[in-house]
Chains A and B, each alone.
Chain A
Amino acid sequence: DAKTTQPTSMDCAEGRAANLPCNHSTISGNEYVYWYRQIHSQGPQYIIHGLKNNETNEMASLIITEDRKSSTLILPHATLRDTAVYYCIVPYSGGGADGLTFGKGTHLIIQP
């Protein structure tokens, strides 16, 4: 898997936009970037994914830089329920055998 680097933790005020960065400088041209989150002791939840273009869905927006070496997940109006560990993942698409590598992720804490 392409290696990803995320900050260990971040705080955000409730109602504000939460911007979570991820570096994936070794990403190759055909690899997608996926974001998942995990609320304590629950299974990870898919949020969004993208290849080159920015993406938006009902949960979040994903901004990918033009060189694709980094991306930012944006939760536009964070609520207390968004407190979770957020994982940025770049699965290997060339025949690797490691499944999804989750890393440590970013622990996002939404403050009231």
Chain B
Amino acid sequence: KAGVTQTPRYLIKTRGQQVTLSCSPISGHRSVSWYQQTPGQGLQFLFEYFSETQRNKGNFPGRFSGRQFSNSRSEMNVSTLELGDSALYLCASSLGGWREENIQYFGAGTRLSVL
């Protein structure tokens, strides 16, 4: 079956703009998690959505937000972009949530460059 799909794969924005990234999970998966990866900080957890509700949140400012739709697809939004937001944004889906014995499957990511 199809894996986790993230769109777009690459994005270039300027400071102050906002951006929306999309993630389509594996069919049947209800949990979607988002991560930010930068060379300096590595992979950091942003938030997790389960059945349209944000269940967990990492330590990121309020400029980072997300939502999940009834079909489990998820979007992540970053407002007022800063240069430091340049990163690879990864989405992962799983059947339940990371608390249970659940394997997370990752998408290929969206590479965001802020100029």
Using CB atoms and an 8 Å cutoff, list the residues of chain A in contact with chain B.
32, 34, 41-46, 49, 51, 87, 91-93, 95-104
**Chain B residues in contact with chain A, CB under 8 A?**
4, 33, 35, 42-43, 45-48, 56-58, 88, 90, 92, 98-101, 103-109, 111
Question: Which of these, B35, B100, B101, contacts A99 with CB under 8 Å?
Answer: B35
Shortest beta-carbon distance from A8 to chain B in Å: 13
Partner of B98, one of A99, A103, A104: A99
8 residue pairs, one from A and one from B, having the closest CB atoms: A99-B45, A43-B106, A102-B43, A97-B56, A44-B106, A91-B98, A46-B103, A43-B108
Q: Which secondary structure dominates chain A's binding surface?
A: loop
Extra contacts besides A43-B4, A43-B106, A102-B43 (5): CB < 8 Å: A41-B88, A46-B105, A96-B99, A100-B33, A100-B45
- Bound CA span A92–B45, Å: 13
